[in-house]
A and B are shown apart, each in its own frame.
Chain A
Amino acid sequence: MSWKIWSLKKSPWVFHVNTGACNNCDIEIVNLLTPKFDVERFGIKLVGSPRHADALLVTGVVTRQAAPRLQEVYRQTSKPCVVFAIGACACDKGIFTTGYHVVGPVDKIIREVDPNAIIAYVPGCPPKPEAMISGIVQALSVL
């Protein structure tokens, strides 16, 4: 394991991208930072700019408007980085499958930019904070 991957596992900084979620998944993500779950214990930090991020937490079905933005955000993230599809919507469009404005899911849109992107899926509607922590830990352990 190279030192880059080792240190990445020790301090994954995350950037939160909403691509048309119902806002419930987003609330659960913010929940991770509260005293009860306190992900700063693992060095996870929410950052304000994709340039600083090591992981993108993407929530929501990707809408037609959001798709180019998501790709742009992915391009602006400094590599190596991991994409997390958080919630049933982001994993496989969830309850919005037949929506007229939906071009998702997340992995399809990201792979249009980078076919080798590392994508992890955390299902649930919304996923529990515990599920997200476990998803992040599992994704990082296979890096």
Chain B
Amino acid sequence: MSVPLNVLFWIVVIPGTVVLGLLACWIVRKVSALVQWRVGPPLFQPFYDVVKLMGKEILVPQEAQKAVFMAAPLVGMAGVLLLSIMLWRVAFVPAKPFVGDIIVAIYLMVLPSLALILGSSASASPHAAVGTSREMKLVMGYELSLVLALIVVIIKTGGTLNLAEIAQHTTVFSISNMLAFLVALLCVQAKLGFVPFDIAEAETEVASGVLMEYSGALLAVWKLAHAIMLVALPLFLVIVFLGGFDVTFLTMVFRGTFEPTLIMPLVWSICKYVLVLVLLILIKNTNPRVRIDQAMKFFWVYCGVALVAAIILATIGKNFGVSWL
């Protein structure tokens, strides 16, 4: 990659991720509509929504902690952008990794939730307070399961903490990692705030909960952050569990060589991403919302037991060389 092209690529990656995120938003709404036998919104709907919110008045509650309230969406946005750039880096320049980037990814994935907790508790609204407390419990619930699921993968791939190396194994084809993948999928569901884990945002009970007091451009930033999460989190699952996101074709085009045989891996990677997204949407559309205590019990007790079993299986498989365990 020559230097100007390289620079151009890193300029394109942020707007590109945002556009992909809005597209993913549209896929979520369209597929949900199709599941319910509706027509659903037009292709540019998420884009219209964001433009409209940008043009609306920003209201800040009188008793709110203004600085925190205004800064929280930006912190959340920065977190997800950094995460998505890291993941694209793993996909585009796998040769230049840094050790332990999976740990950085775990931390960056918590950042939007933490920002949401900060922002909503700064808004001095009782509904938002209920939402905040729910969001906090939910984070404590799924973080444990997610980290355990990643440990299963790390055992399976021989103790590497490097996303680019993990991406070379299609880990999901073994019993332990299948379990870990399912749990991680549900954790991502909770991170995205999708039904059945939209407890913090429950519109019918706590009137949008954590997002309640946000309006105008601040809400638009939250919507954009959520859109980018829709790109980054399934991409993370694809990289960790489903054998990585192969974009060699695109990097070749950037360098100026056209290699038709490399189109197939790219298409296959996109299919994997869409598959994960559609799985999330189908779970979203076929389940009712759970209570917060049910969610915590689910993640700590049921997912915890499944993951301990998976860790034991993975360790046995590793030590005795049984690849399907």
Contacts and interface: CB of A to CB of B under 8 A. Distances in A.
Contacts of A48: 203-204, 207-208, 212
Nearest to A12: B52
A69 interface: no
B55 A51 contact: no
Contacts of A26: none
Nearest to A41: B39
A7 B52 contact: yes
B138 to A, nearest CB: 18
Given A48-B203, A48-B212, A76 B33 contact: no
What class of interface size applies to chain A in its complex with B? 20 to 34
A11 B52 contact: yes
Contact of A4 (B55, B211, B219): B55
Contacts of B211: 49, 52
Contacts of A41: 38-42
B40 A11 contact: no
Contacts of B45: 10-11, 43
A101 interface: no
Interface in B36-61: 36-42, 44-45, 48-49, 51-52, 55-59
B53 to A, nearest CB: 8
B94 interface: no
20 contacts: A3-B51, A4-B52, A7-B48, A7-B51, A7-B52, A10-B51, A11-B49, A11-B52, A35-B38, A38-B33, A38-B38, A38-B39, A40-B33, A48-B204, A48-B207, A48-B208, A49-B212, A52-B211, A52-B214, A78-B216
Interface of A: 3-4, 7-8, 10-11, 13, 35, 38, 40-41, 43, 47-49, 51-52, 54, 76, 78-80
Interface of B: 29, 33, 36-42, 44-45, 48-49, 51-52, 55-59, 127, 203-204, 207-208, 211-216, 219
